[in-house]
Each structure stands twice: as structure tokens, then as C-alpha cells.
């Protein structure tokens, strides 16, 4: 862990660039090119990466070694104050998804190494420990956790359906970034306006509503909206040092009630025992259902690709040009385009290329969404026998709150402390 932090700090001076990425595809403003970062910005970027890494190491130690929620709670307060209100919501691992995607397809775009580190470090920790970034290091999750008082549980089926939304959000964000259309994660960020105490009032209102919901339901944004959380859940499934229930669990249900994201699965006795033949038939049905849903999703989004492409500014501009040619409806954007010497034929060619990209991208995106929906429905239909409580490593945010409620864990710690 310490080696990871040292490598990050060593890499920053050589590769650091502008702190903020360029998510705005809407204006014609040309960003200046800097060969070297501003010294103060380089210093703050280095501090951000150091603090981010140190916090995740600290939380990992607290959860894996100490099995204690208190350090994660302290980190949550620091994260909200530093990454939230002081650094105005940046570092942002959530929005960095789009920068990484754009850098893979747009050769002129040079992604700052600091943005890449902010994106990749929580993933590395997810592979090693689990979602320790979500435990309290992420200011968005930390802010929701600090206002949480009561955890009402949603029905399992409803929770499973809502958990599909972050994947749809992630896939669409990748699609729009790949086509150089818009950074929708940055555009529809519900908490950035709260941290900056100003901005889009609609998104600030959404953030306030989410915080109110967070009082009674643990982390609604993290569970049912956050695209980066969906990505981390994928890697945390195969974490090397997974977070586990206390080995001497006596099924008291306290940890289950304490979990803010309902990531602890209670014991379940599957009384309906399938015959082997029935199980094979059901498995074959799943293999048929998955590709059918993937194909349906691919066709649906492919049909909708022209509508989705309207997000791109060149497509919208070309539509306005067509309106002027066909119905003589003028617009400010079209007049500016023509006054600057824009060529309609070039715009048409560019629009045609973008629509072709959207058609391909939407097809792949639709197939992925269809597959995820099918996999979720199949997961709901599977009833696996559990004799004790188990942690769902994909959903677990590694906050350690369950450990503070577990009497067996408390007893074990007391024995260790007093010999």
C-alpha cells in the first residue's frame, strides 16, 4: 500500500498537467496549452493524491486489521471538509471515468496523470481489499453517511431493479464520452453545487433531496445512481482480502440491521429442493434468456441512436441548418456558424460520421444493458442456501459499521486487548 502511494507521488512531478479536465463540448473556446503545470496547482495536485492514498490505506487498516468503523467515520469528516468544501468536489474519481474513455479515442486529448491516478487508485484498492474508497474517502458517499440516522430496508426485488440504474448511467456516460459529445456525469452532478455553494439550482435541489433521503435510507446516490460505484463493485467481487463476517457469528442479526446499504445477506434455507433435471433445464433457459435480452437491448438502442446523437453539438447544429434550408427557420447558432466561414458540406460529413459512431456505440451499449438486466433478473430467481450471514462483496462499501455492532467482534477484540 505504501509503495503505491510513493509511486503516485514520484510520478506526479514528471507527468502532472492541468488539474481540471475539459468536459465542455458545447463552446468554441480554445483551451490554451501549457507545457508545465502552474507550481501551486502541482503542489495541490500532489497533496490531493497523497491524501487520497493515505485515507484509503488508513481505512483498509481499520477495516481489515482493526475491524472498526470509527476510523472510517473520522475519514468521512475529513473527506467532506477537504475534498468536499475545501477542494470543491475535486478530486473526482466518478467524473474521471469520462476522461479515461475520451483519452482512448481522442488522440489530441492528453489526459493529466493526476486524473488517471484519481481514477485507478480506488480500483486497485477495490481489487486488494474492497470498496474502501466508498467507505468514507469519497466526499459524496461521506456526506450521505454523515447525515444517515435510520436505515429502512427496501424490498429485495425493488433494490435489485434500482441497482441496474448505475450500470445504465455508466454505459451511457461511456457512450457520450466515446463520441466526444458530453460529460454527463459532470453535467448532472448532484453534490458539486452543494460543495461549491452555488451553481445549477436544479442539481443543487436534487442533491438536497438525496441528502434528505439519506437520513432514512443509507446512501441512495451510491447504491442507485453512482456509475463509479458500479465499476468498483465489479472489481470488489474478486478482492484478494475480502471483508468477512466475524468467524464466530451467532446469527444475532445486529450486523444485518446496522448495514447502511443492505449488503449483508441473512441466513436462508431453500426448502424447495430441485431435481437435477429441473436444475439443468433452468440453467439452459438462462443461457437462452441472456442473449435474447442482450439482442433486444442492442436493437432498441440502435433504433434510438439518432435520438441519442442529439446530445452532440455538431448534430444539433446540423439539424438547425436543415431547418433553415427546409423551413427557413434561422437560429443564433447557425448564423454564428455561417458568419465564421463554416462549410455546410463539411458539417454534413461530420454529422454523418458522428451518427455512424452512435449507431455502433448504441448497439454495443444496448447489448450490455440488456445483458445486465437479464443477469439481475436471473440473480433474483436463484435461491442459494445460507446457514450464516454473508457479506455481498459487490455491494459492501467497507464502512465497517457492522463490526461496531457485532457482539462477537467486540468480545474478540477485548480478548486480544487484555490477553
d(CA 283, CA 321): 53
Whole-number percent of the chain with pLDDT over 70 = 84
Cell of 320: 438547425
Q: Are 75 and 59 in contact (CB under 8 A)?
A: yes
- The CA-atom distances, in angstroms, between 35 and each of 31, 32, 263, 396 are 13, 10, 47, 42
Q: Are 42 and 13 within 8 A, CB to CB?
A: yes
| DSSP calls for 331-388 | -HHHHHHHHTT--HHHHHHHHHHHHHHHHHHHHHHHHHHHHHHHHHHHHHH----BSS
What torsion do the CA atoms of 9, 12, 18, 23 make, to the nearest 10 degrees? Answer: -80
- The residues pairing with 390 across neighbouring beta strands, listed in sequence order, are 265
- Residue 23 DSSP label: -
The span from the CA of 114 to the CA of 16, in Å, is 6
CA gap 214, 144 in Å, rounded: 6
* pLDDT at residue 413, rounded to an integer: 63
Q: Which helix (H) or strand (E) holds 391?
A: strand 390-391
* pLDDT at residue 28, as a whole number: 47
- Residue 275 grid coordinates: 431435481
Say what angle helices 332-339 and 313-327 make with each other, to 10 degrees: 100
For the chain, how long is the longest CA-to-CA vector?
87
Distance separating alpha carbons of residues 130 and 133, to the nearest angstrom: 8
C-alpha cell at 160: 435489485
Distance CA 135, CA 142 (A): 7
Question: Distance of alpha carbon 22 from its chain centroid, rounded?
Answer: 19
Q: Which residue stretches of the chain have pLDDT < 50?
A: 2-21, 27-32, 34-36
Q: What is the pLDDT of residue 11?
A: 46
What does the pLDDT read at residue 31? 45
> Mind giving me the DSSP string for 286-315?
HHHHHHHHHHHHHHHHHHTHHHHGGGSHHH
The pLDDT tens digits for 9-52 are 444 444 444 444 455 555 444 444 544 455 577 888 899 999 99
Q: Which helix or strand (DSSP H or E) is residue 390 part of?
A: strand 390-391
Amino acid at each position: 500500500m505504501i509503495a503505491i502511494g510513493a509511486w503516485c507521488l514520484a510520478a506526479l512531478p514528471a507527468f502532472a498537467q492541468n488539474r481540471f479536465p475539459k468536459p465542455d463540448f458545447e463552446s468554441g473556446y480554445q483551451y490554451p496549452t501549457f507545457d508545465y503545470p502552474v507550481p501551486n496547482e502541482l503542489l495541490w495536485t500532489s497533496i490531493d493524491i497523497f491524501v487520497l492514498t493515505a485515507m484509503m490505506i488508513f481505512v483498509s487498516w481499520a477495516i481489515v486489521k482493526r475491524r472498526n468503523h470509527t476510523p472510517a467515520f473520522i475519514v468521512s469528516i475529513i473527506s467532506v471538509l477537504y475534498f468536499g468544501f475545501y477542494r470543491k468536489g475535486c478530486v473526482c474519481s466518478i467524473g474521471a471515468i469520462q476522461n479515461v474513455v475520451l483519452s482512448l479515442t481522442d488522440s489530441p486529448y492528453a489526459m493529466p496523470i493526476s486524473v488517471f491516478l484519481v481514477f485507478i487508485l480506488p480500483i486497485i484498492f477495490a481489487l486488494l481489499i474492497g470498496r474502501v474508497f466508498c467507505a468514507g474517502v469519497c466526499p459524496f458517499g461521506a456526506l450521505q453517511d454523515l447525515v444517515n440516522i435510520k436505515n429502512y430496508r427496501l424490498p429485495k426485488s425493488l433494490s435489485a431493479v434500482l441497482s441496474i440504474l448505475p450500470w445504465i448511467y455508466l454505459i451511457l456516460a461511456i457512450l457520450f464520452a466515446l463520441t466526444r459529445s458530453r460529460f454527463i456525469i459532470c453535467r448532472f452532478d448532484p453534490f458539486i453545487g452543494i460543495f461549491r455553494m452555488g451553481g445549477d439550482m436544479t442539481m443543487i435541489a436534487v442533491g438536497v433531496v438525496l441528502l434528505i433521503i439519506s437520513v432514512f435510507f443509507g446512501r441512495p446516490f451510491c447504491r442507485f445512481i453512482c456509475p463509479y460505484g458500479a465499476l468498483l463493485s465489479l472489481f470488489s467481487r474478486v478482492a484478494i482480502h475480502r471483508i468477512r463476517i466475524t468467524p464466530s457469528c451467532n446469527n444475532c442479526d445486529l450486523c444485518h440491521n446496522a448495514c447502511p446499504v443492505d449488503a449483508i445477506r441473512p441466513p436462508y434455507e431453500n426448502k424447495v429442493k430441485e431435481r437435477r433435471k429441473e436444475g439443468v433445464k433452468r440453467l439452459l433457459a438462462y443461457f437462452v434468456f441472456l442473449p435474447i435480452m442482450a439482442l433486444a437491448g442492442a436493437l432498441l438502442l440502435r433504433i434510438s441512436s439518432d435520438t441519442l446523437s442529439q446530445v452532440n453539438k455538431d448534430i444539433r447544429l446540423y439539424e438547425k441548418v436543415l431547418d433553415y434550408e427546409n423551413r427557413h427557420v434561422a437560429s443564433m447558432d447557425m448564423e454564428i456558424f455561417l458568419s465564421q466561414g463554416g462549410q455546410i458540406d463539411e458539417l454534413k460529413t461530420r454529422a454523418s460520421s458522428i451518427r455512424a459512431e452512435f449507431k455502433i456505440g448504441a448497439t454495443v451499449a444496448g447489448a450490455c444493458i440488456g445483458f445486465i438486466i437479464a443477469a439481475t433478473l436471473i440473480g433474483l430467481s436463484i435461491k442459494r442456501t445460507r446457514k450464516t450471514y454473508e457479506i455481498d462483496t459487490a455491494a459492501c462499501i467497507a464502512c465497517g459499521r457492522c463490526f461496531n455492532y457485532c457482539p462477537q467482534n467486540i468480545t474478540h477484540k477485548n480478548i486480544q486487548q487484555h490477553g
